[in-house]
Structure formats: structure tokens, C-alpha cells
A and B are shown apart, each in its own frame.
Chain A
């Protein structure tokens, strides 16, 4: 529960009377399938166009229509876009949840709602703005379905007026949202104006929130992590993508296919890719691995239940040394869990997926920019290392909308790894598929179809020696397994290094995290510095296996918090398992957040502020 000495979230409202500019969380509570998504995106884009840092998070049910959905927009002049607990503006459209939504507000918050819902009776410490949204939309049309849709755009007009959102920004956002559909654009413009007019004529502004133009979004784009991943994959030369639908990963391959159709069809209309919706995740990963075996840049995307199903095949990929890229857009488990909520619960299971001694390279993107970057790099790593490479994203990153600088075009040619051609074989005469000729643990391979009698080898998941021959020899087994361990050390040395933010001189306190914990951790560090005088150094992991720099970061500090978005402190367990005695005793402290909501800064700052730091008073 909230600590009495809890620190405020960064830049929280100071004095009610003074206007609060560009620091605002809007929550639209509705039911899914009601068509409010377009309105919410228009709101988000309008703020974005005004140059204000902004992000959007959709909290939705695992259902197609009729269940509660909350869309949250956070606009923050300092650039903080992590989830924030406090809601300043509630748009209460869902009678099912309205009472609870209103009860959860902090004093001073604003409620915009359908007039007649009588929410104003519930509390006297909030600001209530009722508006007859449905009737106002009725001014445009009598047609029921359209009226319902337009009522959503009426609240955009209401909020726009109340918050001083620039009308040009709203108009432009509508035009972008309904690209090319003239009638729709005109109708929605009208709905927005009707909403704004209603506010001017009937409501008196009684809250301090307002927005004003900034210049923080110059050149930036708004995009979801799955789209960014798909783009990265396309620019990484993805040629075979296989998948089976599952939230929250479906939109990755769906968007990939859309991009590929546009940008990877040649003049004759033929494709340089194949996207296959498989019959299940076993087939999806089987196809991807075999395509990688045969020389394609192959990938699949899934989430927890699919990862579990892929387990056996992934072990084969590891042992038989086959490249493929597997995106795991994590959601809440175990089992079906909370399929539309976010988590980092698959760290251990993905890292060691499958039976026997298996270890897998995992990339850990924290932003849409890294989704793009790891999207192409993952193929280079997979082909260089000849092994399945995972990218561990999550629902928050994959499905929510983030502002980002434009993506950097790949800065190097593709690395296709150690592949011998027929010509190479004509020179060498022969080759051994699993021999470590270069001392880095990575053998050479040939592709099926290579026109040389010595090219062929037999791939198997059973015991094999350097020549890929079947064997049950204990020596050969140990040799191959030891070489695979060496190869993993090579992986450790070439994967993206952690990002470290350390004060000079370094602080005694540190935090280690990865992925979508990042925005909350960064915000918490500033809060702690500004409000409690606590400096927290930060190491953000970007890949597994762990970089040795993690040990350097931990060494010499009094306390290092390990941030996990799961119950069992999986990252902490991994640190302990990999580094063991090399970790100083009593330094690592676990902070876990696992309720399915994106991490917020206060969870981090309250925890650190409440620690016995042995510093200050």
C-alpha cells in the first residue's frame, strides 16, 4: 500500500490554483468494441503534434466486445511516459466500471462523463464535467451505430476545449486517422466542434490542467513496438516468417506481412519473402528452423503459451545449431494467465528453453528503437552464432504506442555467418560440420542444394560428432557440449552491451533492469535525485547471456536493486546462477512488480526511498 512518506511522481501537480501545463494523465474508460480507439488515437496524436512528449497505453480485456477497456494517455513536459498511477482526467464512458473508476481517483481529479450517469453524487472532492455526448452526436446523425461512434469524437472535442488542445492539431490528427476518407473526416471534424461548442456554452473550467505547444517531438514518430520490430525484421532481410496468432504477438507478423507486401515485391510482382500462418506454434517454429537450416532469414513470433509449445524444437535448434529468430512478446502467465496484460515472466523459461543443457541468446529491447534495431541484428546474431535467437519484448512495448526518434538504417551489411559454398568446397575438398576450426566455438555449415559431393551432412538432434555422424560416444558428446558452451561465450562477447548510467563518483546505490522497466526506472531516478537527494546508478541489460560488466557494476556498491516484472525475481535468480560467488554478499535486493500493469515510477522510487540506505538522516 502507498507509503505515507511516498515520493510524488515526477513533476506532480503542485498547487491546485496555479495552472498545470503539460503534465497530465488522461484515462478513457470504455467498453471494447465501442469504437473509441480512433478517438483515443486522435487525442494522443493531437498532443503529439503540439510537440508535447506523450505515450498511450491500452488496457484491454481478452474479449472482442463488451468488456471494460481503459486507454491511458500520459503527456509530460519532461518526457516521462511510464505508466503513472495518478489519473488527472477520467473520461468515464463505461457504466459498468464508472463507480469504481471514480472511487479510484485522487482528490482534485477531473471526470468527464455522459450526462445522466450522475457520477457527481459520488464524491465532492473531484471536478465533474457532464456532457450529453450521445445527444450531441445526434445533432449529426440519427443512425444509431454512427451516432455511437461520433459520440466518441464528441468527447475529443470536449477534452480539446477543456485542455486547450490546438484545434489544428486535432483536425490534422483526424485527417491522419481516417486517411483519405473524406466523409468520415468531415463527420468527425463536426463532432469535435460540437463537443467544443458544448463546453464553451455550458461548462465553466474549474481545474488547473492545460496543455501548451512545445517543441519536443521534432522529427519524432509514434509507433508500437511490434510495428517497429516488424520494420527491423524487414530491413534485416527477413525472408521466411511463420506464425500462429496469439496476443500480444499477432500484430508483429501481421504488420510485417503488410510491410513486406509493399517493400519486398519485385518489379514482376513476385515476392522475396514467404509469410505462413502455421497450424500451431510447433509447426511455426519447425518451419522457421528448417528455413534457417536451408539458408533463409527465418523468424517467428509468439507469446508464453506458444513459447512453451516450441520448447522441443528449440532444443533441436540449439543442439543441431540452426539459426532462427523467435520473438517472445511476453504476457502474464502461467498458463493462459492474463493474456492482455504485460509481464517479464519468461526470462528464465526462455533463456533455458527445452530439456537438457540448453541456453539461448536473448535480446532485451526497451524501446521501439531497440525493437527496430534488434529486429535486424537478431538475424545477424542467429546466422553468426548458428542458433535460435530470442527477442524478449512484452505486451507493453509491443502493443502500446510510443514516441521515438526515427529509426537508424542498419549501419552494416548483413552478417550471413560461416557458410561454405560449392566453390569453397572445391578448394578445401571436404568439411566437418561441427568442428571448431576457428576456436570460437562456431563451426561452418553448408546449405542444402550446394552443388558439391562433399557438401551434404546429416542434421540430427541425437548424439553426433564433429562430422555430424550419429554417435553415442561419451567423449564425443562431452566435446560437442563443451564446444557449445564455448560458442555461448563467443555470444556473450558480441551481443549488445548493457547501457550504464553512473554518477561520478559512482553512487553506492544501483539498479539493474531491462526492457519496459526502463522508462519507470529513469523517471524514478530523477524523482529520487530531486526529491530525496538519492543518486541511483543504473545498468540496463540488453542481452543474455549476461555481460561481465554486470559484475563490475555490482562491485563496490552498498545496494543494487534488481528490477523484475515477475513474482519470482527471475533476473535476480539468473544473476545468482550465472555469477554465484563472484557477487558480493548482501548487495542485491529484489524489487518485483507483477500485477500485469506496466511498471510505474513510484513503485521504484518508493521502494528505494524506503530502503535502509545508511545514508543521510
Chain B
């Protein structure tokens, strides 16, 4: 029996920065009422609020699609960049190169990521760029009125009756394959899990890929769809119960030995994984790959933290940049002195 102590806090109206949840809101959403993307925006607001993130430090990046519009609907005090279709990863990378102190959150869709942007997704993950990469996955292209995307499951049906005959691309499986360091799958209809995963992502140093089933109520929420709310509710199988425990909070809840697993994240906080029917170790890459293969073959909707490697250096670490963000360097540090030019010129004589 392990024992830990902590106080149980009441839900605060202001966070440790003295900000209220309202300070994390954005413009009113223009998406369809009930769209999964809006549910995700709400949880983003909650996660950033609860994790005491300073809004001005955040950069919101996105591609094109209904999902990619959402950065306008949360964190109105953060800079946002709604770029071009499928290219959010390069935009996020560039922003982080310029200012490594930013907290980057990227929002993409399944069309934006799994089709036109798959190349950039692959390379961003491979580089381990510090970024929370959210895929709001609805199996269709919402903004262009409901065509199948590459994450649509085999044999899934559109409302028109059209059947998808191609296998789906499993972005989480791919991410693990590519060396991703934080890979999670979740459901817009499971806010508790989602918020814990988002807070864990905020505490993680490298790329955090969150593939979130986010039903499109207008084009893909009918019987026969495998990306609908009903399908999600009926089929979600959490692989564990998740709690996010910030570094500054001690834990007093008691668990029986072997009933939970704690993973410490880069910033010192913890993800507590409470065991369900199997003991799953998300730091084991082989196990993660096996589990995801099993999920894909048997069309299981497994959610939770699938894989995490808290310590792998990020892309910015490998570049050995100075601590000051490049964007803030003053002229004296950017422009070498005249003697340097003289020396270089002399070497060409």
C-alpha cells in the first residue's frame, strides 16, 4: 500500500495567475450547433485555464477546415495563425524556431492532417517539435460538405449510402511509428479524459499528438457512421482512467498496489493512470504498437494515453539555440562586427 497526502481543492474561480476561465475564451463559434470541434475548444479553454498558462505566451496554429477555424474560438488573448490547408506543422515549426518560449497549440482536421498535410505531419512528429498537435477527427471533410477523409473506417457509410472501401490511416499508430513522444486518442464526448490529456500535453516538452474523435453533426453523425457521437459512446474503451496531477499538488488518494501507474512529465507534473481491465504501460513503445495494431485490426476505439516518452530531446534542443528567443535578439547579437566581414573577405583573397 502506497500512501500520499494532499489537500483536496475546491474548483477555483480564478487560477493561480488570478485569471478566470473567461480570460481563456475566444470569439463566439460559427460552427454547426453540436459540432464536436466546439466541445474540444471548451476543453482547451479549461485545460489552459487549469494549468495556469499565460495566454500571451500561447501561439495557436491551424490549417484549413472547420476544425482549423476553431483557434479563433478559444484563447482570444493569444496570437493565432490560420494558415493554409495541411501546412499547420511547418507554420508551428517556424513559429517555434523564432520564439522557443512560446507554447504552441496546433489544431488540424483529419483531412488537413491525414491527406493533404500527411507529409508535414510525418516530419513534424519525426522532429519532435514542441507542439500540442490536435486532430479533430470526424472522418469527413466538414468544410467542403462531407466527403470521406483518409481516417474514415473501412466500410463506413456516408449519409448518401456511399461506402468507404479503403482502409483508414491510423494517425496514432503512425505517430508512434515515427518516434512521437506523446500520443493520445480521445473523444470529444469524454471531457474528463480529454482535459487530463490536454493538461498532460501542456506539461510535455515535445510533440503531443492528440487524435480526438470529434463528430461532424451535419455530415457524419448518422447510423452507419463510425465517427458519430452514438458510435463513440457505444464503442469507447478507455485503456485506463486518467488524472493529471500538477507538480505543486501532492496526492493523498490511496490506491492499492498495482492499481495505478504514475508517469512524471517533463515539467515535473504527473499523469496518474488508474488500471482498468489490463495493466498497460504507456512508456513501452512495443506494447503501444501492438495495442494499436490490435485496435486497428479489430476496429476498437481505444482511448487514453497510448504512448509517452517524457525525456526525448525536442527539435529545439538539437538546434542548440541560445536561450533568448531568436525573435528577441538585438542587433548586436545578430549582425557580426565589421572585423568579422574583414576577416571573411580576406579569406577570399
Q: Which of A272, A282, A312, A406 contacts B329 (CB 8 A)?
A: A272
For A235, give the chain B residue with the smallest CB separation: B335
Stretch at the interface among B213-221, B275-283, B314-322: B314-322
Q: Which of A272, A286, A297 contacts B87 (CB 8 A)?
A: A286
In the bound assembly, the distance between CA atoms of A455 and B120 in angstroms comes to 29
In the bound assembly, the distance between CA atoms of A446 and B82 in angstroms comes to 16
Q: Which of A269, A278, A455 contacts B90 (CB 8 A)?
A: A278
Q: Which of A236, A298, A458 contacts B94 (CB 8 A)?
A: A298
Q: Is the CB of A298 within 8 A of B98?
A: yes
Q: Is the CB of A458 within 8 A of B344?
A: no
Q: Which of A222, A448, A470 contacts B95 (CB 8 A)?
A: A448
Q: Is the CB of B56 within 8 A of A451?
A: yes
Q: Which residues of A contact B80 (CB under 8 A)?
A: 456-460
| Known pairs A283-B87, A313-B84; A231 contacts B344 (CB<8 A) | yes
In the bound assembly, the distance between CA atoms of A88 and B26 in angstroms comes to 73
In the bound assembly, the distance between CA atoms of A409 and B341 in angstroms comes to 7
Stretch at the interface among A182-190, A237-245, A341-349, A435-443: A237-245
B61, B328, B348 pick with most chain A CB within 10 angstroms:
B348
Q: Is the CB of A290 within 8 A of B345?
A: no
For A297, give the chain B residue with the smallest CB separation: B334
Q: Is the CB of B329 within 8 A of A288?
A: no
Q: Which of A222, A291, A458 contacts B82 (CB 8 A)?
A: A458
| Known pairs A274-B326, A296-B97, A297-B334; A290 contacts B119 (CB<8 A) | no
Stretch at the interface among B2-10, B71-79, B163-171, B178-186: B71-79
Q: Is the CB of A294 within 8 A of B345?
A: no
Q: Which of B79, B320, B342 contacts A271 (CB 8 A)?
A: B320
Q: Is the CB of B99 within 8 A of A295?
A: yes
Q: Please, what's the 1-or-0 string for B30-72, where 1 marks a CB less than 8 Å from any CB in chain A?
A: 0000000000000000000000001111010100000000011
Q: Does A587 contact B (CB under 8 A)?
A: no
Q: Does B91 contact A (CB under 8 A)?
A: yes
In the bound assembly, the distance between CA atoms of A254 and B93 in angstroms comes to 20
Q: Which residues of A contact B331 (CB under 8 A)?
A: 237, 413-414
Say how far B112's CB is from chain A's closest CB, in angstroms. Answer: 13
Q: Does B101 contact A (CB under 8 A)?
A: yes
Q: Which of B119, B319, B336 contacts A274 (CB 8 A)?
A: B319
Q: Does B102 contact A (CB under 8 A)?
A: yes
Q: Does A447 contact B (CB under 8 A)?
A: yes
Q: Which of A240, A312, A407, A458 contacts B98 (CB 8 A)?
A: A240
Q: Which residues of A contact B71 (CB under 8 A)?
A: 458
| Known pairs A291-B94, A407-B341; A221 contacts B349 (CB<8 A) | yes
Q: Is the CB of B83 within 8 A of A461?
A: yes
| Known pairs A239-B98, A459-B79; A290 contacts B327 (CB<8 A) | no
Q: Does A162 contact B (CB under 8 A)?
A: no
Q: Is the CB of B321 within 8 A of A294?
A: no
In the bound assembly, the distance between CA atoms of A313 and B56 in angstroms comes to 26
Q: Does B92 contact A (CB under 8 A)?
A: yes
In the complex, chain A residues 574-588 whose Cβ is within 8 Å of any chain B Cβ: none
Q: Does A276 contact B (CB under 8 A)?
A: yes
How many interface residues does A have (CB within 8 Å)? 72
A274, A278, A455 pick with most chain B CB within 10 angstroms:
A274
Q: Is the CB of B93 within 8 A of A459?
A: no
Q: Is the CB of B341 within 8 A of A231?
A: yes
Say how far A43's CB is from chain B's closest CB, in angstroms. Answer: 17
In the bound assembly, the distance between CA atoms of A284 and B123 in angstroms comes to 12
Q: Which residues of B contact A239 (CB under 8 A)?
A: 98, 326-327, 329, 334
Q: Which residues of B contact A298 (CB under 8 A)?
A: 94, 98
In the bound assembly, the distance between CA atoms of A288 and B335 in angstroms comes to 19
Q: Is the CB of A295 within 8 A of B341?
A: no
Q: Does A116 contact B (CB under 8 A)?
A: no
Q: Is the CB of B95 within 8 A of A291?
A: yes
Q: Is the CB of B87 within 8 A of A274?
A: no
Q: Does A223 contact B (CB under 8 A)?
A: yes
Q: Does A70 contact B (CB under 8 A)?
A: no
Q: Does A318 contact B (CB under 8 A)?
A: no
Stretch at the interface among A13-21, A259-267, A510-518: A259-267
Say how far A256's CB is from chain B's closest CB, in angstroms. Answer: 12
Q: Which residues of B contact A235 (CB under 8 A)?
A: 335-336, 341
In the bound assembly, the distance between CA atoms of A586 and B319 in angstroms comes to 58
| Known pairs A280-B119, A294-B99, A456-B80; A406 contacts B345 (CB<8 A) | yes
In the complex, chain B residues 91-143 whose Cβ is within 8 Å of any chain A Cβ: 91-95, 97-99, 101-102, 119-120, 122-123
Q: Which residues of A contact B297 (CB under 8 A)?
A: none
Q: Is the CB of A271 within 8 A of B56?
A: no
Q: Does A164 contact B (CB under 8 A)?
A: no
Q: Does B81 contact A (CB under 8 A)?
A: yes
In the complex, chain A residues 264-310 whose Cβ is within 8 Å of any chain B Cβ: 264, 266, 268-274, 276, 278-280, 282-298
| Known pairs A283-B87, A448-B102, A459-B81; A272 contacts B334 (CB<8 A) | yes
In the bound assembly, the distance between CA atoms of A410 and B341 in angstroms comes to 10
In the bound assembly, the distance between CA atoms of A313 and B120 in angstroms comes to 14
Q: Does A316 contact B (CB under 8 A)?
A: yes
Say how far A52's CB is from chain B's closest CB, in angstroms. Answer: 15
In the complex, chain A residues 334-363 whose Cβ is within 8 Å of any chain B Cβ: none
Q: Is the CB of A449 within 8 A of B101?
A: yes
Q: Does A452 contact B (CB under 8 A)?
A: yes
Q: Is the CB of A456 within 8 A of B55?
A: yes
Q: Which of A263, A274, A461 contacts B97 (CB 8 A)?
A: A274
Q: Is the CB of A295 within 8 A of B120?
A: no
| Known pairs A221-B348, A259-B344, A462-B82; A456 contacts B94 (CB<8 A) | no
Q: Is the CB of A283 within 8 A of B123?
A: yes
Q: Which residues of A contact B123 (CB under 8 A)?
A: 278-279, 283
For A448, give the chain B residue with the smallest CB separation: B79
Q: Please, what's the 1-or-0 string for A226-262, where 1 marks a CB less than 8 Å from any CB in chain B?
A: 0100010011110110100000000000000001000
| Known pairs A272-B322, A286-B83, A295-B327; A450 contacts B56 (CB<8 A) | yes
For B69, give the chain A residue with the smallest CB separation: A470
Say how far A594's CB is from chain B's closest CB, in angstroms. Answer: 32
Q: Does B325 contact A (CB under 8 A)?
A: yes
Say how far A452's CB is from chain B's closest CB, in angstroms. Answer: 7
B78, B120, B344 pick with most chain A CB within 10 angstroms:
B344
Q: Is the CB of B99 within 8 A of A449?
A: yes
Q: Does A453 contact B (CB under 8 A)?
A: yes
Q: Which residues of B contact A406 (CB under 8 A)?
A: 342, 345
Q: Which of A234, A295, A457, A470 contacts B328 (CB 8 A)?
A: A295
Say how far A611's CB is from chain B's closest CB, in angstroms. Answer: 41
A235, A284, A294, A461 pick with most chain B CB within 10 angstroms:
A294
For B90, give the chain A residue with the smallest CB separation: A286
In the bound assembly, the distance between CA atoms of A406 and B331 in angstroms comes to 22
Say how far B84's CB is from chain A's closest CB, in angstroms. Answer: 5
For B316, give the chain A residue with the smallest CB separation: A274
Q: Which residues of B contact A455 (CB under 8 A)?
A: 56, 77, 79
Q: Is the CB of B98 within 8 A of A456?
A: no
Which residues of B approach A to under 8 Å, CB–CB? 27, 54-57, 59, 61, 71-72, 76-84, 87, 89-95, 97-99, 101-102, 119-120, 122-123, 319-323, 325-329, 331, 333-336, 338, 340-342, 344-345, 348-349
A sample of 4 more A-B contacts (CB under 8 A), given A270-B323, A272-B326, A291-B97, is: A220-B349, A294-B99, A295-B326, A296-B326
The 3 closest A-B pairs by CB, nearest first: A290-B94, A295-B327, A286-B90
Interchain residue pairs with CB less than 8 A apart (30): A222-B348, A239-B327, A270-B320, A272-B326, A278-B123, A286-B84, A286-B90, A286-B91, A290-B94, A291-B98, A291-B327, A293-B98, A294-B94, A296-B98, A296-B327, A312-B84, A313-B83, A406-B345, A407-B345, A409-B338, A446-B79, A448-B99, A448-B102, A449-B101, A450-B56, A457-B80, A458-B79, A458-B82, A459-B82, A461-B84
